[in-house]
Structure 1
Amino acid sequence: MKNILVAIDFENNEKLLLDYAAEIATKFGSKVWLIHIAEPEPDFVGYEVGPQYIRDTLAEELREEHRQLQDYAMGLTKKEIEADGLLVQGATVEMIMAESEKLNIDLIILGHHEHSFLYKVFLGSVSTEIVKKSKIPVLIVPLIE
């Protein structure tokens, strides 16, 4: 197992996912790829970009998320685990699947939040969709809120 992909959603559950990734990576000598899928560009989804202050705010949020990914990667590197952080914009499930293929990922680690029935009907679950579409093993970590 050479490459592990960990999906980070910045909902204060990263430590648990990082701990699992570190344990597995240490045992197998794997590289850990941390990925966060940000919302697509407004033009991508058919909306105008809007005023400059909105673009500036979005750009700052992306910079902060990228900095945080790099900090997590650095924390793993200090534990002698090779790690990189990726910030990608687009549709979550599709981007995770595309990056997994591109990076030759051997294991995907995702957190799973329990949602209401209506949430699942209208929005679905990223972890469920990844499991359905992936040909790569997926480790689902239950996240208790």
Structure 2
Amino acid sequence: MKQMITHILCATDLSKHSAYTMCHAANLAAVTGAKLHLVHAVQPMSDETRIALQLYMQTTGSSETADKARHAHLKTVMAERQREFWAHVSEEDRDIQNQVASIELVDGHPAEVILRRATELECDLIVLGAHEHGFSHTFLGTVAKRVLRRSTIPTLVVPYRDTAPSA
């Protein structure tokens, strides 16, 4: 019996490389007819950062204000990355954009967010990118390793690529 892919979760770190990962996820969505869910995990501010904000800004709501500003900035970056990506997709392939079911910024540690949202959205496949590292590191980032270890569904890790995709 064939397993159908109906929902794909594409995790993005909002880097320039994320367009290459998105290209693979969009191509898979086009081939399978699956809905595409894009998610970016917003890492929580460390306690040290919160304390520093309170010390230097001397206001009680400084960390909340910083969180809101951070979210607003990330929404802008995510929208920009989407515009850049779809602008490079050929006219004949732009219908894939209709398969994008959700674009989310979710608070939490990246691996946890990816795995939780994949379960909540009933995804059949996770697509995420590897990171560039020096010779002393493996090609996989910590997030990819954690997701691969704990995922109960197929997970595609797109290798790091220095050049932009030709969609």
Q: Is the 8 A contact 1:70 1:84 kept in 2?
A: no
Displacement of 1:86: 0.9
TM-score by length of 1: 0.78
Higher strand share: 1
Which residue of structure 1 lines up, in the alignment, with residue 44 of structure 2? Answer: 40
Alignment of 1:10-21 (within 5 A): 10-21=14-25
Matching residue of 1:128: 145
Report the Cα offset of residue 99 of structure 1.
0.9
Cα RMSD (Å) of the superposition?
3.0
Contact 1:34–1:69 under 8 Å retained in 2? no
Match of 2:30 in 1: 26
* Residue correspondence of structure 1 range 6-85 to structure 2 within 5 A: 6-42=10-46, 47-48=50-51, 50=54, 51=57, 55-70=64-79, 72=82, 75=86, 79-85=97-103
1:40-72, CA deviations, whole angstroms, 9 ceiling, x for partnerless residues? 1556x8954623566434422311322443562
Answer yes or no: is 1:141 the counterpart of 2:158: yes
Distance in 2, Cα, partners of 1:8 & 1:98:
15
Higher relative contact order (CA 8 A, sep 6+): 2
Give the aligned residue type for 1:107.
Answer: L
Q: For residue 12 of structure 2, what is the amino acid of its counterpart?
A: I
Greater gyration radius: 2
Q: Which amino acid counterpart does residue 115 of structure 1 have in structure 2?
A: H
Q: Residue 115 of structure 2 aligns with which residue?
A: 97
Distance 1:79 1:10, change over 3 A: closer
* Segment drifting more, 108-117 vs 49-58: 49-58
- Which contiguous aligned blocks of 4+ residues in structure 1 show a shift greater than 6 angstroms? 117-120
Which amino acid is the alignment partner of residue 26 of structure 1? A
For structure 2, list consecutive stretches of 5 or more residues without a partner in the other structure.
87-93, 163-167
TM-score computed with the length of structure 2 as normaliser: 0.69
Q: What is the aligned length?
A: 141
CA distance in 2, matches of 1:78, 1:32: 9
Distance 1:78 1:100 in 2: 20
